[in-house]
Amino acid sequence: MAIRNCLVTGAGSGIGAAVAELLSGQGHRVALAGRREEPLRELSARLPGPSLVLPTDVTRPEDIESMFAACEESWGPVEVLVHSAGAGDSARLESTTDTMWDRQLELNLTAPFRCVRRAVPAMRKAGFGRIVVVASVASKVGAPYVSAYTAAKHGVLGLVRSAAAELADTGVTVNAVCPGYVDTPMTDRSVASIAAHTGRDADGIRAKLAAAQPIGRLILPGEVAAVIGLLVQEEALNGQSLMVDGGSVQS
């Protein structure tokens, strides 16, 4: 595969950082976007190939525009977009406020929509593009206490499928990966939140999350990145939502 201009959101840690390392290791140029600059700079320093550090809040439309503009100014149009930025809130349905609901849709559905919309014109013109959205097992099944997050993740899967159908004859593919519980800072925050709300032991909570995967452990960020790498390579994979969950949801 030719050397490509790649943009990874949520690159400061977890899945996004693992994806950036994989793509850079394959020789691609990788722009690193995330809210916190320091982790992005630390990641940039250890990547083997060219990189850009782009502090970005993807819930701000002006930040998204600046992020893409910086890539275009330095390297040219974004050819590979991996949207990994996201987070979850946990609450009982009756305790889920409008603010929580709006925040989850803004971050997990509207932000990827805006990024995909911004990336598509140049990809369509070039006759090549790869878009991968990090969704979730919550894109496929519901779970207690995460109604807003689950609604947003179900929605982003609809976005992926519709965009893939629209762009199928242009050389642009759009796919999603749907991880289960991954050993990332996001899972650490989930464990801490559950422990704070329930008084249960954090180690016990983590063990229960690990057991939710049939393989009996948390998924590793590199395992998710490897699947994303496949989606970046293969044009025949389009409109797919690949589960990376150790077999908990057979889809």
Give pLDDT tens digits for 135-191: 999 999 998 888 999 999 999 999 999 999 999 999 999 999 999 888 877 777 777
For the chain, the residue count is: 251
Q: Please give the structure tokens belonging to residue 203.
A: 């180690």
**What class is the 5-180+220-244 domain?**
alpha beta
Give pLDDT tens digits for 52-96: 999 999 999 999 999 999 999 999 999 999 999 998 888 889 999
pLDDT higher than 90, residue 105 = yes
pLDDT higher than 80, residue 7 = yes
Element (H, E) at 244: strand 241-244
Buried b (16+ CB within 10 A) or exposed e, 84-105: bbbebbbbeeeebeeebbebbb
Helix, strand, or coil here: 156?
helix
Distance CA 218, CA 25 (A): 24
Helix residue ranges per DSSP H, the chain: 14-25, 37-46, 61-74, 98-105, 111-126, 147-167, 185-198, 202-211, 221-233
**149 is an active site residue:** yes
Q: Which of the residues 68, 128, 145, 149 is marked catalytic?
A: 149
Q: Please give the structure tokens belonging to residue 89.
A: 């809130």
User: Who's near 117: CB < 8 A, 6+ residues apart?
Assistant: none
User: Who's near 37: CB < 8 A, 6+ residues apart?
Assistant: 53, 55
Distance CA 92, CA 146 (A): 8
pLDDT bucket at 197, cuts 50 / 70 / 90: low
Average pLDDT of the segment spanning 30-56: 98
Its sign, for the CA torsion 49, 50, 55, 59, is: negative
Average pLDDT of the segment spanning 34-57: 98
Is residue 105 within 8 Å of 155, Cβ to Cβ? yes
Q: Write the DSSP string, 61-122.
A: HHHHHHHHHHHHHHTSS--EEEE---------GGG--HHHHHHHHIIIIIHHHHHHHHHHHH
Domain boundaries, given as residue ranges, for the chain: 5-180+220-244, 183-218
Give the closest residue to 155 by CA, choosing from 109, 116, 98: 109
Helix, strand, or coil here: 185?
helix
Distance CA 57, CA 36 (A): 9
What global pTM score does this model have? 0.93
